[in-house]
Amino acid sequence: MPDDGKPGHEPRGELSPEERAALERRSSELGRKLDVARQTGTSGHRPGQAGDGAGNGKAMGRAMRLSAELVAGVVVGGAIGWWLDQWLDNKKPWLFILFFLLGAAAGMLNLIRAAMREKTPSLPSVKDERDQGN
């Protein structure tokens, strides 16, 4: 029932000033929430809700991709050191230890580069260099 005898009721479809103010407050509040959601990059879905499984899968994939970088550096460094020790007939595996550590450093370097690459998919620094090179 539209006209149920409220004191000072408006014609249908019109908003009273208080209602209009409340609506504006709500819309600006919603806009603020959207900005926050956009900045934090969660795009709406809360942790623990549907879509979290996909996030876990993504993180798992990222871990698999990045861990290969670290492992490869250590393995290659260790292999080079071991091979050099064999070749030089060293009594003590000091080259193995040295190259193992260098390999670990190289693995970290790989890891950092891979992580940076994933953060910025199109590598702006590389593009700058290309521009200078031409």
Question: Which residues are CB-neighbours of 58 under 8 A, at least 6 positions away?
Answer: none
Q: How many residues does the chain have?
A: 134
Residue 124 in contact with another protein, rule: CB under 8 A: no
Return the exposure string of 99-126: e unless at least 16 CB atoms fall within 10 Å of the residue's CB, then b.
bbebbeebbeebbeebeeeeeeeeeeee
- Residue 122 near another protein by CB under 8 A: yes
Closest contact distance (angstroms) between CB of 61 and another protein is 6
Q: Which of 80, 82, 84, 93 binds another protein (CB under 8 A)?
A: 80
Of residues 40, 43, 49, 125, which one binds another protein by CB under 8 A?
Answer: 125
Please tell me whether residue 69 binds another protein under the rule CB under 8 A: yes
Q: Residue 72 and residue 79: Cα distance in Å, rounded? A: 10
Residue of 64, 87, 91, 119 that binds another protein (CB under 8 A):
64
Helices (H) and strands (E) in the chain, counts: 4, 0
Cα separation, 129 vs 121, whole angstroms = 16
Work out how close the CB of 52 gets to another protein at its nearest, in angstroms, rounded to a whole number: 13
Residues within the interface to another protein (CB under 8 A)? 53, 57, 61, 64-65, 68-69, 71-73, 75-77, 80, 99, 102-103, 105-107, 109-110, 113, 117, 121-123, 125-127, 129-130, 133
